[in-house]
Amino acid sequence: MAVSSTGRSGRVTRFAPRIDALLREHRGADLFRLEADTIGVAGPELMDGLLRARPANAEERPTFKPVQGRLVTRADASALMQAVSADVRTALRKPLEPDADLSGKWPDVAHAYLRDLVFGRESFRFRVLVDRRLELTPKLTWMAVAAGTAMLGKPGTEIPLSNLAARALDAEGYRDRRYAMYLYRRVAAPICFTVSALVTNALWLGSPFDDEEVSNRDVLLEALRLLPPSWNILRVASSEFRAVDGRIGAGDDVLMFPLLSHRDPRLWEDPEEFRPARWRDLDPDDHPGYLPFGHADERCWGRHMVMPLAERLLDLVRRDGLVVSPDQTVGRVELDGLLEVADVRMVRR
Ligand code: HEM
């Protein structure tokens, strides 16, 4: 791993070599060839043009890509999102826990907190589907889904605890239930994975947040800029792209990098600096090249849940005086699906 950035906190972020190379070689570039059949794009107008050129296809969707070849209909997708949104709203109505202990290794601690908050009293067959260990291999996820499905009793014999689980229990027949369980995983797991990643990144970049004038919202917007969990957006080769830019060949996939546009010196003052206060004067929904939740035409369906859950975690951290351990000066960012700083040690001041 190479050292790539040093924040004002004095902490150093070490990116995996491929991410580090992207930052060193292509920051500030609009378009560059990554591989024989892949073009990288980080210019704001170009990303805007490409993402407008056509909607994401089924395989490109992060959450609702087909499940073992079975397409997820739009109706299913929006019913699932409504179910999980209701679960998150219920969770957010709970008062802040007076005795929460969020010290320890993040993002794991935050992940477990979110799982208990939103899906806490769910039975084991569902809880296991939001476990961090399942990330290791997709096969493991599939096995947990299959085992959980086989364990399900007849519909009606189990009391569903979340809206999301109720949908899975309602499904009839093994295949439909397995599909519903898999979708439970697809929708429930990101709540824990993405929100814990986002808040861990924010703490790494800026903790301690002693200045009460600095809002949680601005801290999160700035963390989404410098360390966006969703750091690239893929669109597979498509005829529409050539019309947007003649340098893109008919067979080229296009990989867009918010990670790069978020640090482009043409777009940001002191781009490498973690400065939440900049968001007092900027509009996150309309700032060129700022795409932590994707393009305006098809922005993340989960962001209205992500922000309040992340703010709740920050409220607890600030209330309880938790800080990144002063002994930890280096944080690793692996080449992984989600961009997150691994193993951040949070301690009471
Ligand atoms: C920090 C948290 C998150 C970030 C940064 C994030 C980012 C994104 C981005 C960049 C896209 C656009 C992808 C593209 O155009 O190819 C997207 C789409 C989407 N996101 Fe999120 N997301 C987050 C959390 C969530 C959560 C918790 C859920 C659901 C529970 C979710 C559900 C979706 C859905 C449904 C879409 C639309 C496309 C699809 O079908 O997958 N996101 N998100």
b/e per residue, 297-306, with b = 16+ CB within 10 A? eeebbbeebb
The pTM of the full predicted model, rounded to 2 decimals, is 0.94
* Residue of the CA atom closest to atom 21 of ligand 1: 300
Mutation probe of ligand 1 site: the residue of 300, 312, 336, 339 with most atoms within 8 A of C-beta: 300
Contacts of 98 (CB under 8 A, 6+ apart): none
Cα separation of the two ends of the chain: 30
Return the residue matching tokens 């990989």: 255
User: Which pLDDT does position 131 carry in this prediction?
Assistant: 80
Nearest to 10 by CA among 327, 278, 322: 327
CA 33 – CA 35 distance, rounded (Å)? 6
Per-domain boundaries in the chain: 2-348
Q: Find residue 348's DSSP bridge partners.
A: 322
CATH topology of domain 2-348: Cytochrome p450 (1.10.630)
* Residue of the CA atom closest to atom 15 of ligand 1: 294
- Calculate how far, in angstroms, residue 177's C-alpha sits from the geometric centre of ligand 1: 24
Decide: helix, strand or coil at residue 187: helix
User: Which pLDDT does position 155 carry in this prediction?
Assistant: 47
The Cα angle at residue 252 between residues 247 and 253, in degrees rounded to 5: 120
- Calculate how far, in angstroms, residue 230's C-alpha sits from the geometric centre of ligand 1: 8
User: Which pLDDT does position 158 carry in this prediction?
Assistant: 60
Q: 287's torsion region: left (phi>0), alpha (psi -120 to 50) or beta?
A: beta
The pLDDT tens digits along the chain (349 residues) read 555 555 567 899 999 999 999 999 999 999 999 999 999 999 999 999 999 999 999 889 888 989 888 999 999 999 999 999 999 999 999 999 999 999 999 999 999 999 999 988 777 778 888 887 776 566 777 777 777 777 665 445 565 578 888 888 888 888 888 898 889 999 999 999 999 999 999 999 999 998 889 999 999 999 999 999 999 999 999 999 999 999 999 999 999 999 999 999 999 999 999 999 999 999 999 999 999 999 998 899 999 999 999 999 999 999 999 999 999 999 999 988 899 999 999 999 8
Q: Which residues line ligand 1 (CB under 6 A)?
A: 56, 60-64, 84, 187, 190-191, 194, 198, 229-230, 233, 292-294, 298, 300-302, 305-306
CA 286 – CA 282 distance, rounded (Å)? 8
User: Which pLDDT does position 8 carry in this prediction?
Assistant: 63
Nearest to 14 by CA among 349, 286, 330, 339: 330
